[in-house]
Amino acid sequence: MTHLLSDLAPSEYGEPLPPGASPKVLRDELAAAAEWVSQYLSELTGEPVSRPMPATQRDRLREAPLGRDGVELGRVLDFVRDEIAPFPTGNGHPAFFAWVNSPPAPAGVIAELLGCAVNATCGMGDNALMELERGTVRMLAGLAALPDTTSGVLTSGGSMANLLALATARTWFLTRRGSGDGPAYDRDHARLTLYYSAQAHMSVAKAASCIGLPAHRLRPVPADEHDRLDPAALRAAVTADLDAGLLPFCTVTTLGTTATGAVDPLEPVTELCRRTGMWHHADGAWGGLGAAVPALAPLYRGVGAVDSLTVDPHKTLSVPVGCGALLVPQPEHLHTAFAHRASYLTADEGDALPWLSHATIELTRPGTRALALWATLNHLGRDGVTGLIEHYLTLADQLRRRIAAHPRLELLPSGPWPVACFRITHPVGEDPDELHARIAQRVQARGRAYLATVAAHERTVLRACLCNYRTTTDDLDLLIGEVLHAADADEPPRPR
């Protein structure tokens, strides 16, 4: 026998049909959640950075079946407090130094909740958050020193922004050649080649694969001794491919390489791209806003001439995950790549701007990204953004100095973005790369600090990234102490 859902609702108690909730229950649960969030965020520092997850816990999370009957709303908070929050990645904690993974800005946390309540869909139709997304994209463009014409979209992160960029570059390139479709497309698409430095993020090669470029059309160009793309090597690679009848369509520069924080030269790459008809995409997922920082700005001369720029506000700016952005100075190229019509999506767009779904692959899109980004940017203000990045540069400097001054540690070149790469001086024993991997694992397992390793100049090195506004110099000392403690566990006592 079937029931109408309304027959099953406990209407005799005056409760609305789930997933709805009565105003009183909703208010009480929101207040309890807010209380917990503020306590959690302020007390986090006293907890381990992360802790191992027991196998039983993993199994519970992976395999717990859905119960037949629904549970009370209050169980959401209980569940997060008891089952989720004790096992974080660790990036909320001030002694977390792995990858480029920041803690959430309070303004963003509040905005995410508020944005969920509004629940605007930012791909189609008309609503205030879609306009705010356009506004926040322009704020990012202003910080990045891109032209006033710049528009773009928010994305789930840098990987998605890079994917949109390569798809846009490909469409732009083929359309200009008259090879957007038909036999010309088949002929030309099979000859496209893509350039980036060997230090570029793996999401660039992944995006290339997603748009249908096979690995043998990818050209990771050697970087120089400072991990920057070498323009001479790039020119040589492009020339060789042109001579071979291939079609160089795009070069990707990196602003803030993941391993060591290097910034590729922009102007020589733009010049080559203009001359050979390539698109210049800059991947600034970590370092895209360097133009806003006087100490870094000279390296960003010419950034306004790139064809597209990825920035990742969930990295440097602490906007809650996931908030990335693709910025495009000539946004009509985004629309050429992504505008598709359908009978069920018609609008009198009149003189309004194209829907945001015409600039990306998503249709139903969250407005929470725009609101969280707007809230975080406005809480900081323009000077606050500059000051935050400068603060990280200072912390990185202090960490590098401590490492360089320590007889048991060897500092390796890195920067200008705030990261320190280092090794144990004269490690004893078999394989120094494995030793450093073990040290990172031991530091992670002890739970007092957290860092990861990276391959730099063909060696495995310890890498500590500064992107946490709660990190203090005490945390730097703690990190060094933990690394040395982990190294001691490996080495036999030194002869005196």
Ligand X SMILES: *Cc1c(COP(=O)(O)O)cnc(C)c1O
Q: Rule CB under 6 A: which residues touch ligand X? A: 100, 157-159, 162, 201, 203, 254, 256, 258, 283, 285-286, 312, 324
Cα separation of the two ends of the chain? 84
Residue 367, CA distances (Å) to 133, 150, 258, 321 in order: 8, 20, 29, 14
CB of 13 to ligand X, least distance (A): 45
Tokens of 299: 């390296």
CB of 258 to ligand X, least distance (A): 4
The smaller minimum CB distance to ligand X, of residues 45 and 89, is found at: 89
The smaller minimum CB distance to ligand X, of residues 227 and 283, is found at: 283
**What span, in angstroms and rounded, lies between the C-alpha atoms of 110 and 104?**
10
CB of 156 to ligand X, least distance (A): 7
CB of 357 to ligand X, least distance (A): 21
Nearest Cα to 316, choosing from 396, 258, 388? 388
Torsion angle of C-alpha atoms 51, 462, 316, 325, degrees rounded to 10: -100
Residue 346, SS3 per DSSP: coil
The smaller minimum CB distance to ligand X, of residues 284 and 427, is found at: 284
Residue 71, SS3 per DSSP: coil
Residue 142, SS3 per DSSP: helix
The smaller minimum CB distance to ligand X, of residues 111 and 309, is found at: 309
CA atoms within 13 A on the CB side of 451: 32
The smaller minimum CB distance to ligand X, of residues 34 and 455, is found at: 455
The smaller minimum CB distance to ligand X, of residues 102 and 270, is found at: 102
CB of 174 to ligand X, least distance (A): 25
The smaller minimum CB distance to ligand X, of residues 158 and 320, is found at: 158
- Cβ-contact 173, 192 below 8 angstroms: yes
CB of 183 to ligand X, least distance (A): 35
Tokens of 288: 């895209």
Tokens of 413: 């070149």
**What span, in angstroms and rounded, lies between the C-alpha atoms of 486 and 444?**
10
Nearest Cα to 296, choosing from 419, 148, 467, 415? 415
CB of 474 to ligand X, least distance (A): 27
- Give me the residue label for tokens 């946390």: 109
**What span, in angstroms and rounded, lies between the C-alpha atoms of 158 and 205?**
13
The smaller minimum CB distance to ligand X, of residues 255 and 399, is found at: 255
CB of 200 to ligand X, least distance (A): 7
